[in-house]
Copies of this chain bind each other. A is one copy, B any other.
Amino acid sequence: MKHIRVIAFDADDTLWINEPYFREAEEKFCEMIKEYLPKEEAYRELFKTEVNNLPLYGYGVKGFTLSMIEAIMNITEMKGDLHLVEQAMAIGREILGKPVTLLDGVEHTLKLLNGDYRIVMATKGDLLDQERKLLKSGLAKHFHHIEIMSNKHKEDYQKLIRHLDCQPSEFLMVGNSLKSDIVPVLQAGGSAVHVPYHTTWEHETIDYQIEHENYFQVENLGELIPMLKGENCLTDGEA
């Protein structure tokens, strides 16, 4: 890994807890609407609405809230009342007010990497919400650059790599989503380290194995530095 000059970190569920808050929100949504539709079906309806709305609303809490409201209209066939909508909006606001809890090894790792590498944060989501989380996290000082992206496709990474003025071969992405943090980076010619998180949004999963010479896995961020030093480095073939 001697060629790496820039390390980009995904934020949600890589640096701090995020997805469990959405799982909790979905659970509350399904509970409040259960007299109209059994929970599992309500979850399917909400998921379908969210995914349909991604091109329109993008990622983040505001789009999620609007999708909950749209799902209420569909599930109740317009017979629900404004109290359901009020509850959905409260569920959304609750996510926005959640504390930012760092994952194990994050602060230590960022601190140690700084100096040896240019450290970047590259995350999807609502602009204001991600900025607020970064502020709450206290991690801003570790980053040379913050990129909040509307999407994480191959082209988006190519743009980011150009903007960072480095070669794809010098760029390493670290994240929990195989679909957003790993596959498109490998396609763009970069390297990628997968740090799995116990909960992943269904839309972020992939149903195939990745085999690539620039793809690596660690169990947690604490393993990143030994990996970069060439110790304890599991490629997919060895894992």
Contact = CB atoms under 8 A, between A and B. Distances in A.
A63 B66 contact: no
Contacts of A239: none
A1 to B, nearest CB: 28
Nearest to A62: B62
A126 interface: yes
Contacts of A236: none
Interface residues of A, number: 34
Interface stretch (A81-89, A98-106, A184-192, A213-221): A81-89
Interface of A: 56-58, 62-63, 65-66, 69-70, 72-73, 76, 78-83, 85-86, 89, 92-93, 96, 126-129, 131, 145, 148-150, 163
22 contacts: A57-B128, A62-B66, A65-B66, A66-B66, A66-B89, A69-B69, A70-B89, A72-B82, A73-B86, A76-B82, A78-B81, A79-B82, A80-B82, A81-B81, A82-B85, A85-B85, A127-B148, A127-B149, A127-B150, A128-B150, A131-B150, A145-B163
